[in-house]
Amino acid sequence: MKLKHIIPVLIISCSLFANIQAQEKTAFQTAHHWIPEIDVRSDIAIVYGVSERGKMTFEERVKSWRDRGYKVHFMTGIAWGQYDDYFLGKWDCQNHLGEGQQTVKGDTIWHGRNIPYVVPVASFIKFMQERVVKRVIDAGISSIYLEEPEFWARAGYSEVFKQEWQKYYGFPWRAQHESPENTYLSSKLKYQLYYNAIKEVSSYAKAYGKTKGLDVKVYIPTHSLVNYSSWQIVSPEASLASLPGIDGYIAQVWTGTSREPTFFNGVKKERVFENAFLEYGSMVSMTAPTKRKLFFLTDPIEDWPRDWADYKRNYEATFTAKLLYPMVADYEVMPWPERIYTRPYKLANSDEKVLIPKYYSTQMQVMVNALNDIQVSANHVTGTGGIGVLMSNSLMFQRFPTHNGYEDPQFSNFYGQTLPFVKRGIPVETVHMENLSYPATLKNIRVLVVSYSNMKPHDADVHKYLADWVKSGGVLVYCGEDDDPYQKVMEWWNTKGNNYAAPADHLFKQLGIEAGTEDKSFAVGKGKVYVIRQNPKAFAMQAGTDAKYADIIKQAYESDAKAGKFLVKNNFYLKRGPYDIVAVMDEAVSNEPYTVTGPVIDLFDPKLPVLAKKIVAPGTQAFLYNINRIENKKTPKVLASASRIYNESVNGRSYSFTAKSPVNTINSMRIYLPFAPKTTVVTNTKGEKTTVENSWDKSSNTYYLSFDNDPDGISVSLSW
C-alpha cells in the first residue's frame, strides 16, 4: 500500500475506536462482579440490585466493572426485589411482607424467598427513592432501569390493595371474580398503581440527579404487551412512553416469552419466531411515535432448564426476529452472563449436564459482536407493507378470570388477527391505540384491523382519530361479534350521557354506520369500512377459517386502499448493511426454501464458512454477512468474530488488532484482506504465541482464524 493511503486509514481506525468507546449501543445485565468468564465486552454493564452479593457491596461490584473499562448502568425490579430492609422491617421498623400481591385464596404471589410481588404503596415508593435510587446516583450512575412493573391479573385480594381501591375509586373494594366490571376496575387500578410508582420514582431520580450534577436517564425493561396479555399480567406499558421521566425501554423478548404456545389453523403449538416477531413489533409500535430509545433483548438460554440444542434453536429464531426491525439498533445482548457461561445444562437427549458447549459459545459471541456493528437501516422487510392491527393496554384487562363462559384461549383473539399475515409472509404491524394522537402512528398504515373482542377503547377520542383517518382514505376492517361480557362494563361509552350497547357502536356512529350492522362494507369519506361479524379467535382456533379473513384484507388493500399487490409468500428477507436476514415459515403457503446468492458468511455456523449460496429451509432462519456488500475492498477488516475488536491499525501491507472475549471460549473470526497473509502472529498479553487454526478462502479474499479467547486481549498481526 502506498504511503498516501496509510494516513487516512489510520485516522479512520482511530475514529472508529473512539466511536466504540463513546457509544451506548449494546449492554448486558448482571448481578455479579467482574470475572473473566463473563467479560462480554458490550458497551454497558448494567449492574443489578443494590444488595450485597457475598462479601461484595454494590459499590464494589460497580467498581469491578468500571475498572475493566465498562460504562456502568443500574437495574432493579420495581415490582419485586431483594429488599429485605423494607420487607422485614429494618428500614422503618415495620414488616411489609403483607404488601405482597394476593390471590383469591389469600396466597401471596412470590418471586423468591422474602420477595413478594408487591402492591406499590406510598411507603414502598419512598423506600425505592431513598434507599435504592439515591444510593445508585451517589455511586455516580446516571442511567437507571426500573424492571418489570408487573401486577398479576389473578391478584387483587390483599388488604393493602383494598385500601388503594377505596382511595382511588372512592367506594369499597369489590372482588374481581364476581363480575366483569369488577375485573375491569381491578385491572385499571393495578395499571394505575404501577404507572404512579414509575412516575414518582423516575421524577425523584431526575430531581436528585440534578443536585449531583447528573442528567439521569430512566428506562423501563418490560415484557411486550403481547406477552403480558398472554401471561395474564397487568403493567402500565404504553402509557409510560409519554411520561417526561421515562427515556426509553428494554424490550424483554426471549425464548421464554416467545415459546408460549399459540393457535393457528386449529393447531396449538410453539411458534417461537412468529411470536417473537409480533412481540418485538409491539414494542416498536409502543415507542416509535414518542421517539424514546428502545433496546431489544434476547437471551441465549432462558429461565427454565432445557437442553443446549433447544436454547440454540430458539435463540436463532428470536435473534432473527429482532433483526427484522431495521429501525432499532440498540441491544441488550444478554441477561445474566453468569448464568449462561458458568452454569451447566443438559445436552440434547441426555441427562448429562455440561457448561455451555464451545461451538455454541463461539456462535453466540459471533452473533453478539455483530450487534456492536449492525446499524439502523432505511430498508424494509420484503412483503406487503402498510397492514396494521390495533392493540391497546386494555388487552391486559380482561384476561382473568373467565366470566359468563366467554374464553379467549391462548390469547387467540389477538393471534387470529395477526398470525394469518405472518404465515403469509406479510410483515404486519401492530398499532398502539394509546399513540393515535401522534400523526406518525397511522402515517404508513393503509389497512387497519380493529377488534373489541379482547380490548376496549380508553376514551372517545380514539374513535375520533380512527374516523378522521378513514375519512382521509384509510381502510378499516372491524372484526368481532361484540359478545364478550366486558362490552357492558360501566365505562365512557355507556355513562355521562352516552348510552351505547358496545363501544363499537360509538365508533360506527363517528363513521356514519348503523350500530349493530352485520357483515358489510361501507364507503366513508375517501376511505372504506368493512365489518366482519366474527370474533378473530376463530381465525386461529378453527382450521381453514383464516382464508376468508385474508381475502377480505386483500380486497381492502388492493381495491380500496389501492396500496399495491397483496403478496403472499412463506418468508421474510431484509438487507441491512452487509447483513442478510432471512426467516422462512412453516405452515405457510408453500414449503419452498429461500435461497441467498453468495458469497456469504454463515454467522449461525461457528466455523464461519463462506458459502456460494445459502438455502434456508421452512421453519428455520439465517443470519449472513454478504461479502459483495463490503464497502471498501482496499481496506482490511474483521467481518465477523467471536470477540470484540480493539486497536485496529493498518500500516502498509500489515493489519493488526486486539481481540477480547470471555475466557474459556474459542474465538472464530473471518477477516477480509487484499491478499493472502504471508505471516500471522497471534500473542497473548505476555507476548507468548498462541496456537491458531487458520485458512485462506481465495474466492472471497477472506482469512479464517481461530484461537482461545482472553478478556485481557489477544494481539493479532497479519502481513501480506
pLDDT in tens, 63-95: 999 999 999 999 999 999 999 999 999 999 999
Condensed to tens digits (0 to 9), the pLDDT of residues 7-47 reads: 333 333 333 333 444 689 999 999 999 999 999 999 999 99
Grid cell for residue 367: 452473533
- Inform me whether the pLDDT recorded for 372 exceeds 50: yes
In degrees rounded to 5, what are phi and psi of residue 517?
Answer: -60, 150
SS3 state at 379: coil
Average pLDDT, the chain: 95
How do the domains of the chain map onto residue ranges?
Answer: 23-373, 387-560, 571-629, 637-719
682-692 residue pLDDT tens: 999 999 999 99
CATH tag for 23-373 (out of 3.20.20.80, 3.40.640.10, 3.40.1190.20, 3.40.50.300): 3.20.20.80
Q: Over 50: is that where the pLDDT of 716 sits?
A: yes
Strand partners, 715: 658, 683
- Write the pLDDT tens digit of every residue in 555-590: 999 999 999 999 999 999 999 999 999 999 999 999
Rounded to whole angstroms, how far apart are CA atoms 77 and 117? Answer: 10
Q: What is the pLDDT of residues 620-638, one digit of tens each?
A: 999 999 999 999 999 999 9
Q: What is the identity of the amino acid at 582?
A: V
Mean pLDDT for 223-230 is 98
CA 44 to chain centre: 18
Pick 637-719's CATH classification: 2.60.40, 3.40.50, 2.40.160, 1.50.10.
2.60.40
Runs of H (alpha helix) within 67-158: 84-87, 122-127, 134-138
The answer to whether the 387-560 and 637-719 domains have the same CATH topology is: no
Measured N-to-C along each axis, helices 546-555 and 412-422 cross at an angle, to the nearest 10 degrees, of: 60
CA distances to 486, 493, 524, 674 from 509, in Å: 20, 12, 11, 68
Residue pLDDT, tens place only, 278-304? 999 999 999 999 889 999 999 999 999
CA within 13 Å, CB half, 656: 13
Q: Determine what percent of the chain is predicted with pLDDT higher than 70.
A: 97
**Which residues are registered as beta bridge partners of 332?**
27, 297
Q: Which of 404, 406, 718, 422 is nearest to 587 (CA)?
A: 422
In three-state secondary structure terms, 657 is strand
Question: Peptide bond preceding 326: is omega within 30 degrees of 0, i.e. cis?
Answer: no
User: In 631-692, where do the E strands start and end?
Assistant: 637-641, 644-651, 654-660, 666-672, 679-683
Predicted confidence (pLDDT) at residue 4 exceeds the cutoff of 50: no
CATH class, range 387-560: alpha beta
Helical (H) or strand (E) element with 416 = helix 412-422
* Per-residue model confidence (pLDDT) at position 416: 98
Triad 447, 449, 452: Cα angle to 5°: 155
